[in-house]
Amino acid sequence: MKIKETIYLDYQATTPIETQVWDKMVPYFREMFGNPHSSDHFLGWNASQALEKAATRVGMLIGSDSNEIIFTSGATEANNLALLGVSRRAAQGKRGRILVSTIEHKSMLAVSRILQDQLGYQVEYLPVDHEGLIDIAYLDETLNEDVLIVSIMAVNNEIGTIQNIEAISNMIRGYGAFFHCDAAQAPCALDINKFARIVDFISLSAHKMYGPKGIGALYIRHDLQEMVEPLIYGGGQQGALRSGTVPVPLCVGMGTAADLVMGEWGEQSRAELRKLRDNFIQQLQGLPWSITLNGPKKHRHPGNANLCFMGFSAHEILNSLQPYVAASTGSACTSGIPEPSHVLKGIGLSEQEIEGSIRFSLGRGTTPDDLAEAVQLIDKTLSDLAELKHH
Average of per-residue pLDDT across 226-233: 97
The last residue of a domain, from among 232, 261, 290:
261
Label the pairing between strands 2-3 and 6-8: antiparallel
Q: Are residues 130 and 233 in the same domain?
A: yes
Q: Are residues 167 and 273 in the same domain?
A: no
Tally of residues, the chain: 391
Residue 99 domain boundaries: 19-261
Half-sphere exposure of 376 (CA within 13 A, CB side): 8
Active-site amino acid positions: 333
85, 232 contact by CB (below 8 A): no
- Tell me the C-alpha distance between 118 and 102, whole Å: 20
Which H or E run contains 324? none
**pLDDT tens digits, residue range 180-229?**
999 999 999 999 999 999 999 999 999 999 999 999 999 999 999 999 99
**pLDDT band of 338, cuts 50, 70, 90:** low
Q: Are residues 346 and 292 in the same domain?
A: yes
Q: Are residues 248 and 311 in the same domain?
A: no
Q: Are residues 96 and 228 in the same domain?
A: yes
Lowest mean pLDDT among 7-11, 21-25, 146-150, 338-342: 338-342
Mean confidence (pLDDT) of the chain: 95
Q: Are residues 251 and 299 in the same domain?
A: no
Q: Are residues 243 and 292 in the same domain?
A: no
Q: Where are the alpha helices (DSSP H) in the chain?
A: 19-25, 42-62, 75-89, 106-119, 136-142, 165-173, 195-198, 248-261, 264-285, 314-321, 342-346, 351-355, 368-390
Q: Are residues 73 and 199 in the same domain?
A: yes
Contacts with 245 (C-beta within 8 Å, 6 or more apart), sequence order? 35, 36, 37, 235, 237
**pLDDT band of 92, cuts 50, 70, 90:** confident
User: Does residue 3 surpass a pLDDT of 60?
Assistant: yes
Would you give the distance in Å from CA 179 to the centre of its chain?
17
User: Does residue 336 surpass a pLDDT of 70?
Assistant: no
Per-residue pLDDT at 330: 75
Residue 366 belongs to domain with CATH number = 3.90.1150.10
**pLDDT tens digits, residue range 31-74?**
999 999 999 999 999 999 999 999 999 999 999 999 999 999 99
0.85 cut: is pTM over it?
yes
Residue 84 belongs to domain with CATH number = 3.40.640.10
The last residue of a domain, from among 230, 261, 292:
261
DSSP 293-318: E-S-SSSB-TTEEEEEETTS-HHHHH
Q: Are residues 223 and 303 in the same domain?
A: no
53, 255 contact by CB (below 8 A): yes
Per-residue pLDDT at 115: 96
**Total domain count for the chain?**
2
Q: Are residues 172 and 213 in the same domain?
A: yes
User: Does residue 386 surpass a pLDDT of 90?
Assistant: yes
Per-residue pLDDT at 389: 82
The last residue of a domain, from among 242, 261, 280:
261
Q: Are residues 250 and 311 in the same domain?
A: no
Q: Are residues 237 and 116 in the same domain?
A: yes
